[in-house]
């Protein structure tokens, strides 16, 4: 049994994307998930995908602040991985019958539902950004994601001054917001992402 405080500390680290915490959780759980996937018709690449997806679910949960540690991290990651893998098998029509050892250890339906929603939104954002094309995409990423200031951006992108860069950023942003909010609304109305 792992010390509970240690686990809470790990989750706190995970929420802030602390490298040490991510490494520790990764190292302690990956092999377990990999053998689960490989024993159920998967490859090591599948294992990597599924495990990282589960890590993101854990990350989201840790960040939401509502994560009460009612089970070990290991149990949670295992359960999530299992659900994700079953789902993928079903989507690929490769899932035949429930192996007896594939029942859930802890119920993770809510977390997965939430995760899917967030995933869908982020995929939407990624799509919208990609649709912008260059230099808009890089410009917006530099400002909003990398949080660079306008002087640096103007220099890097070759604008004569920060105001021109700001002007360009504004145009790009308007386009992005238009694409994003259109898709977002459509997605919501359709009820699917």
Partner 1 sequence: MEDTKLLDIVERYIKGEMNPDERLHFETLRKSNAEIDQLVVEHTLFLQQMNRFGEWKKFRSSLNDVHTQLTEQGKIDSTRLKGKAKVIYLVKRYKRVAAIAAVIAGVTTITISALVNTFNPKVDNAQITSLSRDIQYIKQKQNVQTNEVNQLKNKITTTQIPFKAGGSGFLIDGKGYLVTNAHIIRNSKNIVVINNKGDQFKAIIAKIFFDKDIAILKIEDDTYKQTGSLPYGIRKSSTDVAEPIFTLGYPRNEIVYSEGYLSAKTGFNGDTLSCQLGIAANRGNSGGPVFNHDGEIIGIISSKEMAAEGVAFAIQSKYIYSAIDDLKKDTTFQSIKVPAKSSVRGMDKKQQVKKIQDFVFMVKGD
Asked if residue 158 binds partner 1 (CB under 8 A), the reply is no
How distant, in Å, are the alpha carbons of 13, 77, 92, 99 from that of 39?
31, 17, 17, 10
Binding mask 57-86 for partner 1 (x = CB under 8 A): --x---------------------------
- Binding to partner 1 by residue 44, rule CB under 8 A? yes
Q: Which has the closest alpha carbon to 87: 140, 28, 46, 34?
A: 46
Stretch 115-154 residues interacting with partner 1 (CB under 8 A): 118, 121-122, 125-126, 144-146
Give the Cα separation of 103 and 99 in Å (integer). Answer: 8
2 touches partner 1 by CB under 8 A: no
Which tokens hold the place of 105?
Answer: 């250890």
Whether residue 187 contacts residue 180, with contact meaning beta carbons closer than 8 Å, is answered with no
Nearest residue to 59 via CA among 108, 121, 101, 111? 111
Q: Kindly tell me which residue out of 2, 4, 12, 35 binds partner 1, with binding defined by CB under 8 A.
A: 35
CB of residue 26 to partner 1, shortest distance in Å: 5
Nearer to partner 1, 22 or 71 (CB): 22
As a whole number of Å, the CA-based R_g of the chain is: 21
Q: Does residue 135 have a cis bond before it (omega within 30 degrees)?
A: yes
- Which of 104, 97, 100 is CA-nearest to residue 77? 104
What is the rounded distance in angstroms from the CA atom of residue 148 to the CA atom of residue 162?
12
Q: Site residues for partner 1, window 164-193 (CB under 8 A)?
A: 166-167, 170, 173, 177, 180-181
Under the binding rule (CB under 8 A), the answer on residue 39 touching partner 1 is: yes
Instruction: Identify the residue among 10, 47, 77, 142 touching partner 1 (CB under 8 A).
Output: 47
Please report how close the Cβ of residue 95 comes to partner 1 at its closest, in angstroms: 14
Residues engaged in binding partner 1 (CB under 8 A): 17, 19, 22-23, 26-27, 30-31, 34-35, 38-44, 47-48, 52, 55-56, 59, 118, 121-122, 125-126, 144-146, 166-167, 170, 173, 177, 180-181
């Amino acid at each position: 049994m792992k010390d509970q405080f240690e686990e809470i500390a790990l989750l706190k680290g995970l929420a802030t994307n602390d490298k040490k915490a991510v490494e520790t959780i990764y190292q302690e759980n990956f092999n377990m998930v990999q053998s689960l996937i490989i024993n159920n018709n998967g490859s090591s690449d599948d294992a990597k995908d599924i495990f990282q997806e589960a890590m993101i679910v854990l990350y989201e949960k840790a960040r939401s602040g509502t994560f009460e540690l009612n089970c070990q991290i290991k149990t949670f990651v295992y359960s999530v991985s299992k659900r994700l893998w079953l789902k993928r098998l079903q989507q690929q029509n490769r899932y035949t019958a429930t192996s007896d050892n594939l029942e859930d250890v802890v119920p993770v339906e809510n977390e997965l539902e939430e995760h899917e929603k967030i995933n869908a939104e982020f995929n939407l954002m990624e799509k919208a950004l990609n649709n912008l094309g260059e230099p808009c995409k890089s410009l917006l990423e530099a400002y909003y994601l990398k949080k660079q200031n306008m002087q640096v951006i103007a220099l890097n992108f070759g604008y004569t001054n920060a105001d021109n860069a700001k002007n360009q950023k504004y145009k790009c942003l308007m386009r992005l917001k238009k694409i994003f909010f259109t898709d977002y609304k459509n997605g919501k109305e359709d009820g699917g992402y």
